């Protein structure tokens, strides 16, 4: 009876809504705490908060690959979500920049441990299309960000205790929604496994000893596949850093927040339609290549039209399209590889987030360093030129090299041809 009552769509939307609420909390506190820290201390310490947050995500993702129960058990996932919310809440009471960076690291640790588990539970909803799952997840994140940015415009920036109380509440709600959905999914999964137990036992009995030996050594995704993910997000984070530094100096006629709004709106309006197109083509590597192409054109425009406000807007839109094409397609490729290999899905998702967070962390620092380097050379477009050149190289690798490595790894999976 419980199996018939299980509704995968309802539980997926519980997760999406929870993610959207928490994303709103992130969008609420991030610009405020970075701005206030920059005014009270320095730009370096303001950047250290973002660095600590992403370093924590890297460490959390790594721990998730080593200790899967920390990243996959329902109570652990909800606990890690609560850890993130509590760590952020205490930032309202801290008066030292190093302490803010330390608690940002703790918040990132909770995020790095919980988010791969979230994706793993979404993938347990077998009746839903994987591409649709990840496109709706990206959509929920962006909807939450827009709501958070709007809320930030009404909340007084000097009322940090109020800001972070709201943030804590959003993470408590997020954790509760996740716990309700995960328990329902786990119960349904146990019932399904019980029904399939006999068939699995028969299949196992007919498996040869050689195949059993091979299954004990799960095939891994190639390192270059993960590194390409790191590089993409290293570049994609540039609106957060590069544009924030570029606009006040070269295009002060537009607000600094312009790239953030554009990024969120583009993804909201185009994520799901483009993902549906990906389902029809079934060629997700094409969408990864298009993602890098969008980055290349975006940076190239900034090289040619460095002092143009219109160029900044067009560049920001292209960067957003790059994320629309790239993000969900890479998630689907990882999920499909996990489906046909002996690897644990949660562990693969943790590995993916590890490299993605590495890219974001390095990109946060690289954006500032490249901008300073360009100013030192008195060549304001050189930072965008270097990013464009690297994006072109990655686009070429995504044409044949990276897909070939991925499919070659898939052919080594036991039981596949």
- Measure the CA–CA gap between 285 and 38, rounded to whole angstroms: 40
Confirm if 366 and 234 have CB atoms less than 8 A apart. Answer: yes
Tokens at 12, concatenated: 């997926």
Q: Which tokens is 167 given?
A: 């943030």
Helices 43-66, 8-40: axis angle to 10 degrees equals: 150
The set of residues, in sequence order, having a beta carbon less than 8 Å from that of 215 and lying 6+ positions away, is: 342, 414
Q: What are phi and psi of 95, to 5 degrees?
A: -115, 0
Instruction: Give the model's pLDDT for residue 217.
Output: 56
Q: In Å, what is the CA distance from 364 to each residue of 198, 207, 232?
A: 51, 49, 13
pLDDT digits (tens, 9 = 90+) for 89-143: 999 999 898 999 999 999 999 998 898 888 888 888 877 877 778 778 888 888 8
Is residue 238 within 8 A of residue 263, CB to CB? The reply is no
d(C-alpha 85, C-alpha 106), whole Å? 10
Cβ atoms of 110 and 84 within 8 Å: the answer is yes
The CA distance from 332 to 351, in Å, is 14
3-state helix, strand and coil shares in percent for the chain, rounded to the nearest 5: 85, 0, 15
Rg of the Cα atoms in the chain: 22
Residue with tokens 């790894």, as numbered in its chain: 409
| Per-residue tokens: 347 | 């562990």
**Taking Cα atoms as reference points, which of 284, 271, 282, 322 lies closest to residue 301?**
322
DSSP, residue by residue, 168-181: HHHHHHHHHHHHHH
At residue 146's C-alpha, the angle toward residues 141 and 148, to 5°, is: 90
CA dist., res. 317 & res. 270, Å (int): 11
214 contacts: CB under 8 Å, gap ≥ 6 = 414
Rounded CA separation 73/77 (Å): 6
The DSSP letter of residue 216 is: T
292 exposure class (CB count in 10 Å sphere: 0-12, 13-18, 19+)? buried
CB 287 within 8 A of CB 326: yes
CA distance 83 to 117: 15
Low-confidence stretches of the chain (pLDDT < 50) are: 1-3, 200, 205-215, 417
What would the two tokens of residue 305 be? 């039209």
Ranges of H-type helices in 125-257:
130-152, 160-205, 209-215, 223-236, 238, 244-250
Q: Centre a 10 Å sphere on the Cβ of residue 198 and count the other Cβ atoms it contains.
A: 9
- B/e letters for 314-324, b = 16+ CB within 10 Å, e = fewer, are bbbbbbbbbbb
Q: Residue 177: its pLDDT value, please?
A: 95
**pTM of the full structure:** 0.71
What does the pLDDT read at residue 390? 92
Give CA–CA dist 320/327, Å, rounded: 11
Side-chain-side CA neighbours of 294 within 13 Å: the count stands at 24
């Amino acid at each position: 009876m419980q199996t018939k009552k299980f509704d995968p769509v309802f539980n997926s939307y519980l997760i999406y809504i929870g993610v959207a609420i928490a994303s709103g909390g992130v969008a609420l506190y991030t610009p405020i705490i970075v701005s206030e820290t920059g005014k009270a201390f320095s730009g370096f310490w303001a950047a250290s908060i973002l660095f600590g947050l992403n370093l924590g995500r890297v460490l959390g993702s790594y721990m998730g690959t080593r200790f899967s129960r920390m990243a996959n058990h329902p109570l652990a996932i909800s606990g890690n979500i609560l850890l993130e919310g509590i760590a952020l809440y205490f930032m309202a009471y801290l008066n030292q920049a190093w302490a803010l960076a330390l608690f940002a690291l703790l918040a990132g640790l909770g995020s790095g441990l919980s988010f791969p588990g979230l994706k793993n539970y979404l993938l347990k909803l077998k009746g839903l299309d994987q591409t649709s799952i990840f496109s709706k997840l990206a959509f929920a994140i962006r909807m939450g960000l827009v709501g958070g940015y709007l809320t930030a415009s009404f909340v007084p920036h000097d009322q940090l205790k109020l800001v972070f109380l709201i943030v804590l509440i959003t993470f408590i709600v997020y954790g509760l929604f996740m716990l309700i959905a995960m328990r329902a999914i786990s119960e349904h999964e146990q019932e399904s496994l019980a029904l399939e137990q006999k068939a699995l036992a028969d299949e196992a009995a007919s498996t040869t000893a050689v195949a059993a030996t091979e299954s004990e050594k799960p095939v891994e995704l190639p390192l270059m596949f993960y590194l390409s993910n790191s590089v993409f997000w290293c570049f994609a984070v540039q609106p957060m850093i590069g544009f924030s530094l570029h606009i006040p100096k070269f295009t002060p006629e537009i607000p600094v927040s312009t790239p953030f709004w554009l990024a969120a709106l583009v993804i909201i309006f185009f994520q799901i339609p483009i993902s549906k197109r990906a389902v029809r083509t079934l060629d997700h590597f094409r969408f990864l290549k298009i993602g890098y192409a969008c980055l290349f054109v975006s940076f190239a425009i900034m090289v040619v039209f460095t002092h143009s406000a219109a160029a900044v807007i067009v560049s920001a839109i292209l960067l957003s399209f790059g994320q629309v094409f790239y993000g969900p397609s890479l998630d689907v490729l990882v999920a499909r590889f996990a489906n046909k290999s002996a690897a644990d899905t949660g562990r693969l998702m943790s590995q993916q987030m590890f490299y993605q967070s590495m890219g974001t962390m390095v990109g946060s620092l690289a954006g500032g360093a490249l901008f300073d380097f360009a100013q030192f050379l008195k060549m304001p477009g050189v930072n965008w030129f270097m990013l464009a050149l690297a994006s072109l190289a990655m686009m070429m690798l995504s044409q044949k090299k990276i897909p070939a490595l991925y499919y070659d790894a898939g052919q080594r999976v036991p039981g596949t041809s």
